[in-house]
Amino acid sequence: MNSPVINQDMILEILSRFPASDIEKSRLLNKECNKRSYESWFLNLNRDRTNSISGYFAQYNGGGDNYQTSFVYEKTGSQNNGVSIDFLPPGKVKIEACDASHGILLCVNETGPSVTEYIVCKPTTKQYQIIPNPTMQTFAGSFGLAVNRLNPFRFKILRLSSLPGILNRNHRTFVSEVFDSDSFSWKRIKNLRLPRKDGLIPSKPVHASRFLHWLSRDDNVIRFCLKTETWSFFKTPNFGVSPRLVRYEGKLGVSRWWMTSGEGLNRLWVLKSSFEKSWVKVKDIGAVYFTICHLHPNDSFV
């Protein structure tokens, strides 16, 4: 007897009623559903059916150490649902990292001279949790945040900070610390070491396939595995200029600018798989896409 043919449209109709965390799991089971679940019609339908909010936080320096933050809705004319970080304790609050797939932020709040607190929060439910400060007093260069699961709520934070120049004679060394919500504490891990001719471009990491990714000045991808807490490196495609790391359909991608027939385009590649270091060309695009943070008011946080 032949196996029944699975109707992909029916599967997507069912998935459109699920929260983003459940859709993320289902994408691993079916290649066609994975691709179609990133199409705009499905994302819009899912947002409407699950009462989700889609947009991004815009943050700018208002002078000194004061940062102004506002939430910009993706859909024009969306009802203002009061998404903000104004519910956090008073102080000088700055967003340092975000898991856009789950709508979770890491904020650092300066409550007084040389007094800071680290806060993990979910703006749609106005829930937050103050976590211990890192043990190292070095200057932080970059943070990465990744949610492992929502129920129970589990996450990891990676903090990179640079050592003083006198301790970096042969390499550009970055102190690496990981906060694990399971142990509710920070720990030192193996330092990130880059050759003197290379360097870390200050930026927010791209989270894809359980890895955090940064771009180096020598066009290398610096990759951190959240499971093994180890570092690895590989090159971006040798094509065009101005590489930029992106997340495309759940995978790590890179766009590089080039000229053809007098027109400037961005060529997009994605990793063949999360465990390989080879790139596959996807398409040429004429505009830069922004990462949208999908927030789900009904998802539990703590």
Going through the chain in order, the beta strands assigned E by DSSP cover 53-63, 66-73, 92-99, 104-112, 115-122, 127-131, 140-150, 153-162, 171-180, 185-195, 206-208, 211-215, 220-225, 231-235, 241-248, 251-260, 263-271, 279-285, 293-295
Give the span between the Cα atoms of 252 and 275, in whole angstroms: 11
Give the span between the Cα atoms of 127 and 139, in whole angstroms: 28
Give the span between the Cα atoms of 295 and 59, in whole angstroms: 17
- The pLDDT tens digits for 35-94 are 888 888 888 888 888 888 888 889 988 777 788 898 888 776 556 567 899 999 999 999
- Does the structure show a pLDDT above 50 at 301? no
Output 200 or 109, whichever has higher pLDDT: 109
pLDDT value at residue 294? 47
Q: Residue 258: is it exposed, middle or buried by C-beta count within 10 angstroms (0-12/13-18/19+)?
A: middle
Quote the percentage of the chain above a pLDDT of 90.
Answer: 36
Q: In what order do the strands lie in the sheet with 104-112?
A: 92-99, 104-112, 115-122, 127-131
Average pLDDT of 205-232?
93
- Does the structure show a pLDDT above 60 at 283? yes
Of 21-25, 115-119, 233-237, 265-269, the range with the lowest mean pLDDT is: 21-25
Q: In what order do the strands lie in the sheet with 153-162?
A: 140-150, 153-162, 171-180, 185-195
Local structure of 82: helix, strand or coil: coil
> CA 280: distance to chain centroid?
21
pLDDT value at residue 34? 79
> CA 164: distance to chain centroid?
28
Output 138 or 249, whichever has higher pLDDT: 249
CA dist list (Å): 201 to 218, 222, 264, 295:
10, 10, 24, 28
Phi, psi of 90 (to 5 degrees): -65, 150
Taken in order 61, 82, 203, 269, is the CA torsion positive or negative? Answer: negative
Looking at every residue in the chain, the average pLDDT score rounds to 83
pLDDT value at residue 302? 31
Local structure of 25: helix, strand or coil: helix
> CA 89: distance to chain centroid?
24
- The pLDDT tens digits for 134-179 are 988 777 789 999 998 888 899 999 999 887 665 555 568 889 999 9
Average pLDDT of 113-134?
92
- The pLDDT tens digits for 15-36 are 888 887 777 777 767 777 778 8
Q: How many CA atoms within 13 Å lie on the side-chain side of 262?
A: 0
Q: Angle at Cα 45 formed by Cα 39 and Cα 50, nearest 5°?
A: 125
